[in-house]
C-alpha cells in the first residue's frame, strides 16, 4: 500500500498529515512538504533504506524483516527549509 504524508510548519512544530501513519511490512511511504524537506529517524527506522536523511518526495519501503514488529512506533526528525523543530506525527507498524 502507498502512504502519502504531508508536512507543514505550524505553531512552532512540524505537523504531519496524517499525524499517525499505520503501515505494514512492504508498504511504501512518501513525505511531501514543499520547500526543502528532509527527514530522518535517528532513534531507529522501520524502513529498508535505513534511518535517512531522506528528501521531499523520496519513496521509502517498510522493512519486511525482523526485528520490526506490530506496535512499533517511529517518530521522524524533520527539517523544513533548514529548520529542525519538534514533530507531531509518527509511523506505527500494524
- pTM (2 d.p.): 0.92
- Per-residue pLDDT of the chain (94 residues), as tens digits, is 999 999 999 999 999 999 999 999 999 999 999 878 999 999 999 999 999 999 999 999 999 888 889 999 999 999 988 889 999 999 999 9
The string of DSSP codes covering 6-64 is EEEEETTEEEEEEEEEEE-TT-EEEEE-SSSEEEE-TT--SBTT-S--EETT-EEEB--
Amino acid at each position: 500500500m502507498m502512504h502519502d504524508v504531508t508536512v507543514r510548519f505550524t505553531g512552532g512544530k512540524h505537523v504531519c498529515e496524517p499525524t499517525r501513519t499505520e503501515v505494514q511490512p512492504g508498504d511504501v511511504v512518501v513525505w511531501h512538504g514543499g520547500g526543502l524537506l528532509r527527514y530522518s529517524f535517528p532513534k531507529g527506522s522501520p524502513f529498508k533504506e535505513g534511518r535517512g536523511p531522506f528528501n521531499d518526495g523520496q519513496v521509502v519501503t517498510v522493512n519486511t524483516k525482523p526485528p520490526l514488529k506490530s506496535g512499533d512506533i517511529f517518530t521522524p526528525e524533520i527539517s523544513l527549509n533548514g529548520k529542525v523543530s519538534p514533530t507531531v506525527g509518527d509511523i506505527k507498524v500494524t
